[in-house]
Amino acid sequence: MRSRSANRSGIVIRRRVTPAGDIIVTLLTPQGKVKAIARGGVRGQLSSRLNLFHHVGAQLYQTPQADLATVQQAVLEGALPRLAEPERYAFAHLMAELADALFQEGEFSEQAFELFAGALRGISHQADPEWVALVMSYKLLGLAGFIPQTTRCARCGAPGPSHPDPLGGQLLCGACASLPAYPEEGLDFLQNVVRRSVRVSIEEPVPEEQRPALWRALERFVTVQVGGVQSWRQLVPHVGAVPA
């Protein structure tokens, strides 16, 4: 591969500052995920532009010798200031971690980019960011091919399971389960969220008291099926305090 320059427009989903003052960012773009380094970036103009959740247009330079492309320039194309609000920030961070774990570098996915950008907008603007994050997490998982089994018991295969699966985050039948069945709304969500449109799901929020169980299921499912979501346990509400 020869040295080359490329322009990419994407959202910063991960940002790390090295001891040398370089900023390493991961961008989710319509052409896939890209990791790049802004050398000495902490001390320059790039620092404030390459912030988490910013939509930036970046000029990247790749040489055959270097693992990472270098960020030569970056312009801010869009930002969602309300994501800085603590209750929204946690959900946006959770979505960014999930997207980073689900999508690989060089994998072209315009749909993933659109879905993720829509998730951030929803978390920024909607009155119920927790609900947006639950819906969009399952939609992102579905797009990446991770779809919970809901028609058969995850342990014995019996049809029509309706109880929580505390190990795998799927569903168990009454005979295999140790926990009571999900209430109707929560069960309907788990069975249908992946194939239902985002708009329909957003308009029919599951009552708040049922959400801790849904988050636990999501956390288990992601941990078992996807892995690689380091801060997931602290970010997912209602889960951090539960022993592994």
By CB under 5 A, residue 155 contacts Zn ion: yes
By CB under 5 A, residue 158 contacts Zn ion: yes
- Nearest residue to 146 (alpha-carbon basis) of 159, 137, 154: 137
Question: Which of the ranges 28-36, 110-118, 155-163, 226-234 carries the binding residues for Zn ion, by CB under 5 A?
Answer: 155-163
Give the contacts of 145 (CB within 8 A, at least 6 positions apart).
Answer: none
Per-residue binder mask for Zn ion (CB under 5 A), 172-191, x = binder: -x--x---------------
By CB under 5 A, residue 152 contacts Zn ion: no
Residue closer to Zn ion by CB (options 56, 173) is 173
By CB under 5 A, residue 153 contacts Zn ion: yes
By CB under 5 A, residue 233 contacts Zn ion: no
By CB under 5 A, residue 167 contacts Zn ion: no
Question: Which of the ranges 17-25, 59-67, 169-177, 179-187 carries the binding residues for Zn ion, by CB under 5 A?
Answer: 169-177
Contact set with Zn ion (CB under 5 A)? 153, 155-156, 158, 173, 176
